[in-house]
Amino acid sequence: MSMGGPHSEPIVRAVDVCKSFGAFQALEGITVDIPAGEVLCVIGPSGSGKSTFLRCINQLETVTAGALWVGGELVGYRRVGNKLYALSESEIARQRRKTGMVFQRLNLFPHMTALENVTEGPLRVQRRARDQVIAEAQALLARVGLAHKSDAFPIELSGGQQQRVAIARALAMRPQLMLFDEPTSALDPELVGEVLSVMRDLAASGMTMVVVTHELGFARDVSSRVIFMDQGRIVETGSPGQILLQPRHPRTREFISAVRG
């Protein structure tokens, strides 16, 4: 599924990434390359570091050790000779625009319509032309099946519809990479499918995606690679068939059988 050639720069490169919160080691020695066009699913128990890894990619957390590159740029720092200098908030904000992120909790602006939620970033942050932004936003809402809800406020939308607006809002910033942090876990079970369907279409379009999920069926059907994490480490990585059907590591086998019940 990877659309990057064998010598193309990965969209994300993590080398020995560590993250600690006080004495707690949330990530330990995470090393992975994510090429353009890959759909990478990250699975594992709660507290295994999955969401922390996404938050480091998006610079909502700062790595404690190791290095991360997104779109060929070192995240959070500028290298001058042999020294690293922390980037300013505005430089970090510019880097962050390469990634779109959809969170577990629905976090639309409650006082804005669906259309206004989608246009806010391109208009206010990217300062793009209003007519173009509105046309693009309407097309994105249609893409997620919500063309008829552009004037609705979040309170008037179901959880699944809100999450689809959140996906459109992230896409409106024209990111190189989409990050999904358990985007269906806060939804009623009957609404999960509509969000996964939008994500399937996005994957089929060639968007590079990193998805933290408990939806093993989605991981099996859509991902090009699956990572299993536990206690802040990557325990096992491989194709969906290998990880989900023939895991080599006992901890992976134990987790998958527990999730499948």
pLDDT > 90 in the chain, percent: 83
Number of domains in the chain: 1
Dihedral (CA of 38, 39, 43, 46) sign? positive
Q: Is the pLDDT of residue 90 over 70?
A: yes
Backbone phi, psi, residue 77, to 5°: -140, 160
For residue 141, tell me if it sits in a domain: yes
Task: Tell me the per-residue pLDDT of 180-215, one tens digit each, with 9 for 90 and over.
Answer: 999 999 999 999 999 999 999 999 999 999 999 999
Q: Which of 132, 59, 42 is nearest to 98 (CA)?
A: 59
For residue 121, tell me if it sits in a domain: yes
Q: pTM for the full model?
A: 0.92
pLDDT band at 251 (very low <50, low <70, confident <90, very high): very high
pLDDT band at 83 (very low <50, low <70, confident <90, very high): confident
For residue 155, tell me if it sits in a domain: yes
For residue 24, tell me if it sits in a domain: no
- CA atoms within 13 A of residue 132's CA, in its CB half-sphere: 7
For residue 226, tell me if it sits in a domain: no
Domain carrying residue 151:
108-174
For residue 153, tell me if it sits in a domain: yes
Between CA 153 and CA 132 the distance in angstroms is 22
For residue 209, tell me if it sits in a domain: no
> What is the predicted pLDDT for the residue at 81?
85
For residue 154, tell me if it sits in a domain: yes
